[in-house]
């Protein structure tokens, strides 16, 4: 899970860094700064809750894409394709 702030929307209300000081801090102008851009698994619930605390909707959570499935291997009864060319005799 990734945590970001949309700075076009952030107006510096400060709710995120007041309620979740381990996830956010403030820059010199009062806008939120994400302290943990890659959210540890044990902090994901807090990150999701922090989205709702922002009145401007400036906090963005990106869920990790699911892991790619490994390619399927042919089973024992699978047909084996013949070569596309014939060996000269």
Phi, psi of 49 (to 5 degrees): -65, -35
pTM of the predicted protein model: 0.69
pLDDT of residue 86: 47
Q: What is the pLDDT of residues 39-77, one digit of tens each?
A: 999 999 999 999 999 999 999 999 876 666 666 555 555
Domain ranges of the chain: 2-62
Q: Which residue has the higher pLDDT, 79 or 31?
A: 31
Name 25's bridge partners: 33
Place of tokens 């302290």: 35
Sign of CA dihedral 6, 9, 13, 19: negative
Which CATH architecture fits 2-62? 2-Layer Sandwich (3.30)
CA distances 34 to 41, 66, 73, Å, are 16, 24, 43
Q: What is the pLDDT of residues 10-28, one digit of tens each?
A: 999 999 999 999 999 999 9
């Amino acid at each position: 899970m990734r945590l970001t702030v949309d700075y076009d929307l952030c107006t510096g209300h400060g709710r995120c860094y007041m309620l979740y000081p381990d996830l956010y801090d403030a820059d010199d102008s009062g806008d939120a700064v994400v302290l943990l851009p890659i959210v540890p698994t044990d902090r994901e619930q807090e990150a999701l809750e922090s989205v709702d605390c922002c009145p401007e909707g400036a906090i963005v959570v990106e869920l990790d894409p699911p892991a790619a499935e490994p390619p399927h291997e042919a089973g024992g009864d699978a047909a084996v394709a013949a070569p596309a060319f014939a060996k000269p005799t």
